[in-house]
Amino acid sequence: MRLRRTASLALALSVLLTSQTQLTSQTPPASAADWVNRMPEMEAHLKNAEIVRLEDIGTGVTRPRRAHLMPVEPFESLVWKMLPPGRRSGHWESYKSEIAAYELDKLLHMNMVPPAVERTLDGEQGAAIEWLPSLKSVKQTGGKMPAGAVWGRSTRRMLTFDALIYNPDRNAGNILIGAPGELILIDHSRAFTEHTDLPRKIERVDADLWRRIEALTRDDLVRVVGPWVGGGAVDAMLERRKRMAAAIDKLTAGKSRALVVVE
């Protein structure tokens, strides 16, 4: 009797542990984009939280710094970039491009670019950007982009976005890895120039994001990114969109469009 009872207890425990494991595996991991649905709160914290300490990050050619905040909620730190618009070492750079990237991300409902606002610190204006301490970059995890079908959509979105804004500086150090299938994009200070060519060859685009890009009007862009990058950069974006559309049309000639514009 005792052996039967012990066996029954062991079986029940095994079933319980299996059920808990299945439940855990079915629970989706939390999104790294913790600002979604909390954007006004996050932006206000970036603008108004007291900066109690600044430290050099030690990485990045644009020499960003980390600012520790009080209060520590909803996040404890921000990235401080003080880059007045201008050319440095042959590259156009501007803290305003960081804010433009975030504002355009919001307009396109991408949720891939962390909150960024303009702020004044010690009499100098710059971009204050949410610090995401729990995430590692592709560079920090070995330098190779995550592989597998789950990562395809976010990778296509990243490349499509970079083509639109003319971001020539996407590298393993400014792609952060979130939950499976989630990429967070940082460092856009060299984007939004008046170049009308595309930074890289178009191969495939995300269908939903491309539809949103196609629907953008000049008025939309002037309203959202115009205050940060100016009318010339807006016109260049519209020209790049034309070139993206032409590249897509060329790629889809004689074959299924679904192979290029991927749902």
For the chain, 263 residues long, give each residue's pLDDT as a single digit of tens: 443 444 443 434 343 333 343 333 444 457 999 999 999 999 999 999 999 999 998 765 667 999 999 999 999 999 999 999 988 888 889 999 999 999 999 999 999 999 999 999 999 999 999 999 999 999 999 999 999 999 999 999 999 999 999 999 999 999 999 999 999 999 999 999 999 999 999 999 999 999 999 999 999 999 999 999 999 999 999 999 999 999 999 999 978 999 999 99
| Residue 16 in domain | no
Using an 8 Å Cβ cutoff, are 179 and 149 in contact?
A: no
Tally the C-alpha atoms within 13 A of residue 77's C-alpha that lie toward its C-beta. Answer: 16
Q: DSSP states of 32-57 as a string?
A: S-TTTT-HHHHHHHHHHSEEEEEEE-
| Residue 112 in domain | yes
| Residue 28 in domain | no
Token pair recorded at residue 170: 């996407």
Whole-prediction pTM = 0.87
| Residue 4 in domain | no
Range of the domain at 184: 39-262
All residues at 6 or more sequence positions from 218 whose CB lies less than 8 Å from its CB, including other chains: 234, 235, 238
All residues at 6 or more sequence positions from 135 whose CB lies less than 8 Å from its CB, including other chains: 32, 176, 177, 178, 184
Burial status of residue 235 (CB atoms within 10 A of its CB: 0-12, 13-18, 19 or more): middle
| Residue 31 in domain | no
| Residue 208 in domain | yes
| Residue 79 in domain | yes
The phi, psi pair for 253, rounded to 5°, reads -65, 120
Number of domains in the chain: 1
